[in-house]
Structure 1
Amino acid sequence: MKSITQRHQLILKKLEQTGHVNVQELSTQMKVSDVTIRKDLKLLEDKKLLFRTHGGGSKVNPYANDRPVAEKEQLHAEEKRLIAQAAADMIGHNDSIIIASGTTMLALARSIHAEKHLTVITSALNVALELSHHQHVEVLQLGGQLRQNSSSVMGPYAEQILADVSCSMLFMGVDGIDMEMGLTTTSLMEARLNQRMMTAAQVTVVMADSSKFGKRGLGKICALDQIQHIITDSGISPALVEMLEDKGINLTIVQQ
């Protein structure tokens, strides 16, 4: 049996490698009880060396904050631009796509090639306005309750329109990607709308800079095995890349 110092060193090493640790995996690896590992995590949290989460611990604060869209737009702007360019290259002529809300989705709208003939369904007001300048893009703006922090709409009216829609791809941003919790956002109503968007699309492409990994929002959108593709930046850890690929998720990693 390992000493408390050895356990703490192992926990912190694994945390540095993957950004997250799991109680059951640690207890099995170190041949101690779950209770012992939880006590270890509590001591390490008290020393401000990690954040405890449901079933484990995280290197960074896992709980995403809801911020105004203008503030979010300034965060990781270059990564979002590169992610958006990679997403735009996936869109073909005459495609019908759904673009959800968020600052990375606005970056996508700005990156869409002007000559492409597209039908775009979106909940985001800023995305619709950006695409309104493209003469070849037909935009269907969803209606509903306005969520000011994301400049988008949500609610039953938007969900009702999506019930009659079938598109090739959904491009979706998230507030958090957690290996256990899956994909989350800070709004329960937006999470529900994103679920409806996924049902209406054949392929779900998640666009998220590497800071979103290990984070959790209030509302769960879906499990990781329900999406097909993630576009992120080179800040993602190799351990996370391996875990995501093991789940059968296609990864596009843009280089800064």
Structure 2
Amino acid sequence: MINLAERHQYILTKLQKEGNLNVVELCKELKVSSVTIRKDLKVLEDKNLLFRTHGGATLNNPYIVDRPVNEKEKIQSAEKMSIGAAAAAMVQDNDSIIIASGTTMLALARNLPPKVGLTVITSALNVALELLKYPAVEVLQLGGQLRKSSSSVMGPYAENILNDFFCNKLFLGVDGIDLEFGLTTTSAMEAHLNKQMISVSQKTIILCDSTKFGRRGFGKICGLDEIDHIITDNGVSEHVVKTLEGLGITVTIV
């Protein structure tokens, strides 16, 4: 049996490689009890070497605070543009799609083919304004309470409008993806609207940069079982990709 220092080093090395850890897997690999592993993780968290999560640990702070949209746009901007371009390539002429809110959704709008004919439903004001440049795109702007931090609307008015439509693709941004907890955002009201978007869409495609993995927001949107496709950048760990693909989710890395 390895000693305490060796066990801690093993945990930190594995965490650096995979980005996230699972208590059950560590118990099997190190041949110790879950109580021992949880104590180890607490000691390492107290030293600011990791963050504990439900059932494991992560390198990234799993608890997200809301930020203004102009601040978010500057974060991982190159990755977001690449993700947006990959998503735009999935859009076909005559599609009826929903584009949710978020800076990666704006990157998608900016990358759409100039002459593509579409019907787009969106909750995002900045996305709707961007789509004014496309003469062949019909835009239905959802109404409701304005969420200033994301320049988007939310609430029952927006949800009720969605009841009258069904779209073949939903492009959705999230604030966090946790392999156990699922998809989250910092607003409970926006999470509720996102759930409604999923329910009226044939296919749900998540656009998120790799920093969103292993994190949790206040409002849960859905579990991973409701997701069809995730587009992200190459900062995502191989362990996360294999786990997602094992759940039947297509993962595109840009």
The aligned runs of 1:195-234 (5 Å cut-off) are 195-234=195-234
Provide the secondary structure at the position in 2 that maps to 1:121: strand
Q: Tell me how far 1:31 sits from its aligned partner.
A: 2.8
| Residue in 2 that maps onto 1:91 | 91
- Asked if 1:80 corresponds to 2:56, the answer is no
Partner Cα separation in structure 2 for residue 10 and residue 221 of structure 1: 34
3-state SS in 2 of match to 1:221:
strand
Structure 1 stretches of 4+ with a deviation exceeding 6 A read: none
TM-score, normalised on structure 1?
0.96
Corresponding position of 1:146:
146
3-state SS in 1 of match to 2:138: strand
1:123 paired to 2:113:
no
The sequence identity of aligned pairs, in percent, is 63
Instruction: After superposition, give the CA deviation of every residue in 1:42-85 in whole Å (9 maximum; x if it has no partner).
Output: 11111111111222211121112210000000111111111111
Greater shift in the superposed pair: 21-30 or 206-215: 21-30
> Residue type of the partner of 2:92?
G
| Structure 2 residue aligned with 1:48 | 48
3-state SS of paired residue (2:203): strand
Secondary structure of 1:184's aligned partner: strand
The answer as to 2:67 corresponding to 1:61 is: no
Which amino acid is the alignment partner of residue 123 of structure 1? S
Residue-pair matches, total:
254
Distance in 2, matches of 1:174 and 1:84, equals 14
Separation (CA, whole Å) in 1 of partners of 2:109 and 2:152:
14
Task: Give the Cα separation in 1 of the matches to 2:200 and 2:226.
Answer: 13
Structure 2 unaligned residues grouped into runs of 5+: none
Q: Distance in 1 between matches of 2:60 and 2:91?
A: 34
Kindly state the Cα deviation for residue 124 of structure 1 after the two structures are TM-superposed.
Answer: 0.4
1:126 maps to a residue whose letter is: N
Equivalent residue number for residue 21 of structure 2: 21
1:111 pairs with 2:89: no
State how far apart, in whole Å, the 1-side matches of 2:24 and 2:66 are: 31
User: What are the superposed Cα offsets for residues 104-159 of structure 1, whole Å, 9 maximum, x if unpaired?
Assistant: 00111111112011000000011111102211111000111100000000011111
The RMSD of aligned alpha carbons is 1.1
- Cα distance in structure 2, aligned partners of 1:116 and 1:155: 30
Task: State the SS of the aligned residue for 2:183.
Answer: strand
- Does residue 163 (structure 1) correspond to residue 163 (structure 2)? The answer is yes
Instruction: Name the aligned partner's letter for residue 179 of structure 1.
Output: L
TM-score computed with the length of structure 2 as normaliser: 0.97
Unmatched 5+ residue regions in structure 1?
none
> By how many angstroms is 1:208 displaced?
0.5
C-alpha distance in 2, partners of 1:196/1:244?
A: 23
Q: What is the CA–CA distance in structure 1 between the aligned matches of 2:97 and 2:244, rounded to whole Å? A: 24
Give the Å deviation of 1:243: 1.4
